[in-house]
Amino acid sequence: MLRKLMKHEFRATGRIMLPLFLILLVTSVGANFSTRGLLETDNKFLDVLGVLLVMAFAIAIVGVCVMSMVVMVQRFYKNLLQDEGYVMMTLPVSVHQHIWSKLIVSAVWFALTLVVVCLACFIMAFDVGFVHQIAAGFRELFQEICRNLSAYYAINGTAVIVEFLVMCFVGCCAMCLQFYAALAIGHSRPNHKMAWSVLSFFAIQFIMQFLGGMGIVLLDESWFHHLLLGWTDNISGMASVHLGMVAMILGEVVVGAIFYVLTTWFLKKRLNLE
C-alpha cells in the first residue's frame, strides 16, 4: 500500500515540479545566450533583454528551491488536514504509511531539485572551449587520483559519500517533519487552525534553539568535552570525519524521531477535521 501512496504522491507533486524544472532549464538556455552575446552588443534592446534573461534565471533558481519545499508541505496540508483528509483517513492505510510516503517523495524531489539546479547552472555556463578546459582538468585530476589511490582512501571516500547522502536524506526528512508536526498540532485545535500551526512552528523553533544553546553550554568543560579532547590525539583525521558525520546523522535522526512521534500522535489522537 505504501507503494500506491507514493505513486499517488509523485503524480500529484509531479504536475507542479516537472513544469518548474522545465522553466528553469529554459531560462538557463536564455541566460547562456545572454552571457554569450546579448550583453556584449551595443543594441540597447538586446542589452536589456540579456539582463532580463539573466534575472529570470536567478529568479527561477530561487523559485524552484522554494517551491520544492512549499509543494511538499502543501501536499501534507491538503491531503491529510483538509477535505481530502476525510477520505485519506478512511483508507486501509496506517498514519505511518501516510507520513512515510510523503517523506520519501519529498526527499526524492529535493534531490532532483539539487540535480536540476546544478544542470541549469552548467547549461548557463556552457561554452565549448570552457568545457574542454574543465574536461582536461578533470581528466588530469582523475589520472592523478588513480595513481595515488589506495584501498584505504577508496573505502573511506566511498564511506564518506554514503554518509553524506544518508545525512542529506535524514536532514530533509527532519526538516519536513518540523512542518508536519506544527501543522498537526495546529489542526488539533477547534478554531484558527493555521494561526495555531504558525504559532506552533515558531514555538518549535524557539525550543530547538533554546535546547541547542543549553546543550552547548552544558557540554562545555564537561566530562564528554574532555573525552573528545583526549580522542583528538589518538584518532586519525579520516576517523574524525567519520565520527563527525555519524554524530550529525544521529542528531538529525533524534530530532526527526521527536517530530515524527509528535506528528503521528496528533494525527491519530487529536486531529480535528471539522
Can you read off the three cell numbers belonging to residue 141? Answer: 585530476
Residue 124, C-beta contacts closer than 8 angstroms, at least 6 positions apart: 28, 31, 32, 35, 57
pTM above 0.75, yes or no: yes
pLDDT tens track for 107-148: 889 889 988 998 888 888 776 455 556 556 666 666 665 555
- Name the nearest CA neighbour of 20 among 69, 82, 67: 67
Please report how the helices 237-265 and 151-186 are oriented relative to each other, as an axis angle in degrees rounded to 10.
20
Residue 123, C-beta contacts closer than 8 angstroms, at least 6 positions apart: 25, 28, 29, 32
The answer to whether residues 25 and 120 touch, using CB atoms and an 8 Å cutoff, is yes
Q: What does the pLDDT read at residue 46? A: 66
Q: What does the pLDDT read at residue 270? A: 79
- Name the nearest CA neighbour of 105 among 138, 79, 137: 79
The top-scoring range by mean pLDDT among 39-43, 66-70, 143-147 is 66-70
Mean pLDDT, the chain, whole residue set: 80
pLDDT tens track for 171-223: 888 888 999 999 999 888 888 888 988 999 999 889 888 887 777 766 666 65
Give residue 245's pLDDT band: very low, low, confident or very high (50, 70, 90).
Answer: confident
Cα–chain center distance at 107: 6
Quick one: what percent of the chain has pLDDT higher than 70?
74
Label residue 111 exposed, middle or buried (CB < 10 Å: 0-12, 13-18, 19+): middle
> Average pLDDT in the 36-56 region?
70
Can you read off the three cell numbers belonging to residue 13? Answer: 507533486
Can you read off the three cell numbers belonging to residue 249? Answer: 546523522
Helices (H), the chain: 2-36, 44-76, 84-88, 95-124, 128-148, 151-186, 193-219, 223-231, 237-265
Residue 148, C-beta contacts closer than 8 angstroms, at least 6 positions apart: none
